[in-house]
Chain A
Amino acid sequence: MTGFLSFIPRAVGQGIPLLFGCTGEIITEKSGNLNLGIPGVMYVGAISGVIGSFFYENSVGDGSMNGFLAIMIPVLCSLLGSFLMGILYCFLTVTLRANQNVTGLAMTTFGVGFGNFFGGSLIRLSNLDVPTIALSKTSAYFSATLPFAKKLGWFGEIFLSYGFLAYTGVIIAVATAVFLKKSRAGLHLRAVGESPATADAMGINVTAYKYNATVTGCMIAGLGGLYYVMDYASGVWSNDAFGDRGWLAIALVIFTIWKADIGILASFLFGGLYILYLYIPTGMEHMELKELYKMIPYVVTSIVLIVTSMRNRREDQPPASLGLNYFREER
């Protein structure tokens, strides 16, 4: 039972970056943009926050930090970083109508490189022996829980042991689901992703919707990167530590059949699979099995992709114009 009790919060913690990425990509894909740059965007979101808080922590020195600034500076820097990535993607694919797949993959390569470059630079600046940046003071603000959470036993551990960004992620996912289902703008967004020509003929500004959805999606995804560094990794940045969570987030979008509310549980499930290998006893003499267990999330992703591609219901299909650029006067 104690094993299980510690498993749940860790699974959720692993799942939150996926949830941000997945929600962001759902909004993006609903506009018909297949943004394969999400892994890169999450990297940029993370490193931008790290840069912001690195300079703030250094400027304060040994003095005490202002809690508001300690949170707002990394959050705003992260949002700005992923906002710029989103704008870049939109400018290339919506305005210049570049191929979405190529653009997305290029942005992932760029984003990872950008993160590692500035990560490496900061590591040089901090003159430490280990190749990491530790922002533990900032992290303390990000991972702060409600003061009474510890006193509530298992309930507190499972539901209240997370920093504020985790709850933000869940709230954003629920809000996204409601937005897509109930609001007029959500209806229009779905129409843009399904059939931009129709949306255009109905007087919906396709370009504006694509820009807004993609940029918003990138900013949400970027927060996932920030959460990972500041909360999950306790403020420790090391190059490439974020790994392939971005790709898992994109796979999750298909798994959740483009529904943000399903994304909440699905990302926790995947978060659990990601760390499951730590909880399967292997014994000391069979350490190689651990490496096999690490494959679980990828094997499940593959299976899920196969199963989802066999479904036939029209409502469960990807947005019909996903990956296609729209040009009104094309004949």
Chain B
Amino acid sequence: MTDSNAAVSMRNITKNFGKGGYANDHVSLDIYKGEILSLLGENGSGKTTLMNMLSGIYYPDSGEIYIGSKQVSINSPKDAYDLGIGMVHQHFKLVDVLSAAENIVLGLSGKLDMKNARETIQKICDRYGFDVDLDKKIYNMSVSEKQTVEIVKVLYRGADILILDEPTAVLTPQETKKLFEVMRNMKDDGKALVIITHKLDEVMEISDRVAILRRGEFIGTLITKNTDPQEMTDMMVGHRVELNIERPEPLDPKPRLKISGLNITNEEGLQKIRDVDLSINSGEILGIAGISGCGQKELLEAIAGLQKVDSGSIIYIDDDGTEKELVGMDPVKIKNLGVSLSFVPEDRLGMGLVGNMDLSDNMMLRSFREGSGVFTDRKEPHKRAEKIVKQLHVDTPGIETPVRRLSGGNIQKILVGRELYQRPKVLMTAYVVRGLDINSSYTIYDLIVFQKLAGTAVIFVGEDLDVLLQISDRVAVLCDGHINGVLDGRKATKSEVGLLMTSLKEGTRDGE
């Protein structure tokens, strides 16, 4: 049954979390040495679950796993490491207060000899081209540095089968390029690599073979060079999906928000926004590009009235031309003007939704101020929730299900759906499709474009530059709190934006 050349063979793997439907249903997969395999699938298609069973986080309900030709049982992450399997998780498994080196040696046995360990780690770094400061504490590191530590950690344990769960989701294009270089080095060294992703261009660029999962079922494998994104998407989704984002010309754009001379210092005393001047028009999508943590969050929160501002002004211009200063205004009043912030942070439940409450109660979080009397109106939010579930194809057992139990993608749909339901004048979204599969992503892009056509001024913060450049009319590039340039979304190229994201140089070229 098994292919004797394969490094790992999974046969008829089934896993059920008992919430209706299988996370994995009789999946069979082979992984080879000296090859990069992409594992492709929508949210909740069971990619991560499948790989978690290889890395010992979960245990399959049934099915066999073979390493070489020997059947094995992987009960814990330790078993996986002993078999040479290492996984870099999407949410990094690092201890913040420990140094890189301490994190790398974590979990091994024997006497603690940091000097010796450090030499070995350095050798691994030199061999594959990693660049990491071993004494740096994790909490001082950028995402890309953390990821490097994760990969080195796995290699230090002698893994020759590496699984990377959405490694590029948090990287800039330049960092992604570097990661891919390292991955190719590892592949040339005879390691087997699996990359979980739903970015099709990356699949095309890095992998030799693609395995596709859909709703826990194994659909098939393709040789990357013989396929194209359209074929992969169709297999992934099960029906045809248009991979284009419509970008109609802005209808009658009028200035909606005018930001001038904005400066923000955060709680830790770091200046997050420096002298930002920016205007946002109605009926237009303004994309904001920048590596994570360079001030996007602060900028959006300042507009929503949630962030204290050092100096500068944010003027809101109504349809009839009346101007209102938003700085210093109460967040509730700002919201009533129609300025909506749908901030989707990494922790989706952390902001905006309450995990233990059901769908309609979460709708009420937005609407509870409406209406009169002491008692809340529960019918209206219930209807709203039903409408969103239907329109956005939210996969939920019912309106009464606590939001916490839904998958990340579905939670996000509810969050976005609720904001859009308010018919905002200004819509701010950040990382709105983070972690969403291709089908849901495009549904949400369509919704945003629909809002733009309705005359909403949209601020779109995103990390996928391809999408950002496809959807935005204008792109403002933030770097370390400074607007490094505002480009025309129709003309700007990815490398242009990428360069502005990382260089502190003044490169203003207004796209208006």
Q: Which residues of B contact A200 (CB under 8 A)?
A: 57, 77
Are A203 and B98 touching (Cβ within 8 A)? no
| Residues of chain A within 8 A of B268, CB atoms compared | 312
Task: Digitize B214-234: 1 where CB-to-A-CB distance is under 8 Å, 0 elsewhere.
Answer: 000000000000000000000
Q: What would 8 more interface pairs be, CB under 8 Å, given A187-B98, A201-B55, A201-B89? A: A184-B108, A184-B109, A188-B107, A191-B98, A195-B94, A198-B93, A199-B107, A203-B77
A282-323 CB mask vs B (1 if < 8 Å, else 0) is: 000000000000000000000000000000101101001000
User: Are A195 and B96 within 8 A (Cβ)?
Assistant: yes
* Chain A residue contacts of B102, Cβ below 8 A: 187
Contact with B along A177-212 (1 / 0, CB 8 A): 000001110011011001101111111100000000
Which residues from 336 to 360 on chain B have a C-beta closer than 8 Å to any C-beta of chain A?
A: none
Q: Judge whether A331 and B106 touch: CB under 8 Å.
A: no
A212 CB to nearest B CB, Å: 15
Q: How far is the CB of B103 from chain A (nearest CB, A)?
A: 8
Given A182-B112, A312-B268, A329-B58, A198 contacting B95 (CB threshold 8 A)? yes
* Residue in A187, A188, A199 with the greatest tally of chain B CB atoms within 10 Å: A187
- Bound complex: CA A188 to CA B97 (Å): 13
Say if the beta carbon of A328 comes within 8 Å of chain B: yes
Q: A187-242: which have CB < 8 Å to B?
A: 187-188, 190-191, 194-195, 197-204
B residues less than 8 Å from A320 (CB atoms): 96-97
> Can you report 14 A-B residue pairs in the complex whose CB atoms are below 8 A from each other?
A187-B102, A187-B105, A188-B106, A195-B95, A198-B93, A198-B94, A200-B77, A201-B89, A202-B107, A202-B153, A204-B106, A312-B268, A315-B97, A317-B97
> With the chains together, A315 CA to B97 CA distance in Å?
6
Q: Shortest Cβ distance from B56 into chain A, in angstroms?
A: 8
Residue among A182, A195, A328 with the highest chain B CB neighbour number at 10 A? A195
Given contacts A195-B96, A312-B268, A314-B96, contact A203 B78 (CB under 8 A): yes
Q: Tell me, yes or no, whether B17 is within 8 Å of chain A by CB.
A: yes
Complex-state Cα separation, A204 to B109, whole angstroms: 10
Say yes or no: is B316 at the interface (Cβ < 8 Å to chain A). Answer: no
Chain A 61-101 per-residue mask, 1 if CB under 8 angstroms from chain B, else 0: 00000000000000000000000000000000000000000
Q: Specify the chain A residue showing the minimal Cβ separation from B113.
A: A184
Question: Which residue from chain A places its CB closest to the CB of B106 in the assembled complex?
Answer: A202
Cα(A320)–Cα(B97), bound, Å: 9
A331 touches B17 (CB 8 A): yes
Those of B76-95 within 8 Å (CB) of chain A: 76-78, 81, 87, 89, 93-95
Q: When the two chains form their complex, are residues A314 and B107 in contact, meaning their CB atoms are under 8 A apart?
A: no
**Chain A residues, CB < 8 A from B112:** 182-184, 187
State whether the Cβ of B20 lies closer than 8 Å to any Cβ in chain A: no
A312 to B127, CA, bound (A): 38
Measured between beta carbons, the chain A residues less than 8 angstroms from B371 are none
Contacts of A187 in B (CB 8 A): 98, 102, 105-106, 112
Mark A residues whose CB is within 8 Å of B.
182-184, 187-188, 190-191, 194-195, 197-204, 312, 314-315, 317, 320, 328-329, 331
Assuming A184-B111, A187-B102, A188-B106, is B77 touching A314 (CB within 8 A)? no
A328, B97: Cβ atoms closer than 8 Å:
no
B137 near A: Cβ within 8 Å? Answer: yes
**Looking across the interface, which residue of chain A has its beta carbon closest to that of B80?**
A203
Q: Indicate whether A190 sits within 8 Å of B98 (C-beta atoms), given known contacts A199-B107, A201-B57.
A: yes
A331 to B111, CA, bound (A): 35
**Contact indicator B97/A194 (Cβ below 8 Å):** yes
Contact of A203 among B81, B110, B139 (CB under 8 A): B81
A329 partner residues in chain B, CB cutoff 8 A: 58
**Residues in B neighbouring A203, C-beta threshold 8 A:** 76-78, 81, 107
B492 to A: closest C-beta gap in Å: 38
Q: Which residues of B contact A184 (CB under 8 A)?
A: 105, 108-112
Across-interface contacts of A314 in B (CB, < 8 A): 96-97, 137, 139
Give A191 to B108 CA distance when docked, in angstroms. Answer: 12
Contacts of B107 in A (CB 8 A): 188, 191, 199, 202-204
Q: Closest Cβ of chain A: how far from B91's Cβ, in Å?
A: 8
Q: Which residues of chain B are near A190, meaning CB under 8 Å?
A: 95, 97-98
> Contacts of B98 on A, CB cut-off 8 Å?
187, 190-191, 194
- State the CA gap A199–B98 with chains docked (Å): 12
Interchain CA distance A17-B5 in the complex, whole Å: 64
Task: Annotate B97-124 by CB proximity to A: 1 below 8 A, 0 otherwise.
Answer: 1100010011111111000000000000
Cβ distance A276 to chain B, nearest Cβ, rounded Å = 35
Tell me the bound Cα distance from A6 to B493 in angstroms.
80
> Chain A residues near B139 (CB, 8 Å)?
314
Residue in A182, A191, A197 whose CB lies within 8 Å of B106: A191
Q: Give min CB distance, B98 to chain A, whole Å.
A: 7
**Max chain A C-beta neighbours (<10 A), residue from B55, B108, B268:** B108
Q: How far is the CA of A328 from the CA of B55 in the complex (A)?
A: 13
How far, in angstroms, from A305 to B97 measured CA to CA in the complex? 22
Residue of B nearest to A183 (CB): B112
The residue of chain B having its C-beta at the shortest distance from the C-beta of A320 within the complex is B96
Q: Residues of A contacting B110 with CB < 8 Å?
A: 184
Bound complex: CA A182 to CA B112 (Å): 7
> Given known contacts A314-B97, A314-B137, is B77 in contact with A202 (CB within 8 Å)?
yes
Alpha-carbon gap, A148 to B463, bound state (A): 74
Nearest-CB distance from A185 to chain B (Å)? 9
Task: Tell me, rounded to whole Å, the shortest Cβ–Cβ distance linking A177 to chain B.
Answer: 15
A-B pairs with lowest CB-CB distance, top 9 = A203-B78, A202-B107, A198-B93, A184-B112, A201-B93, A203-B107, A194-B95, A202-B106, A191-B95
In the assembled complex, the Cα of A60 lies from the Cα of B428 at a distance in Å of: 82
Q: How far is the CB of B108 from chain A (nearest CB, A)?
A: 7
By a CB distance below 8 angstroms, the chain A residues around B55 are 201
Using A199-B107, A204-B107 as known contacts, say yes or no to A194 and B96 having CB atoms under 8 A apart.
Answer: yes
With a CB–CB cut-off of 8 A, which chain A residues contact B106? 187-188, 191, 198-199, 202, 204
Q: Are B77 and A201 in contact (CB under 8 A)?
A: yes
CA distance A318 to B472 in the complex (A): 44
Cα separation A184 to B55 with both chains bound (whole Å): 23
A237–B77 Cα gap in the complex (Å)?
A: 50
Q: Please, how many angstroms separate the alpha-carbon atoms of A200 and B56 in the complex?
A: 10
Cα–Cα distance between A46 and B93 once the two chains are bound (Å): 41
* A-side contacts of B87, CB under 8 Å: 201
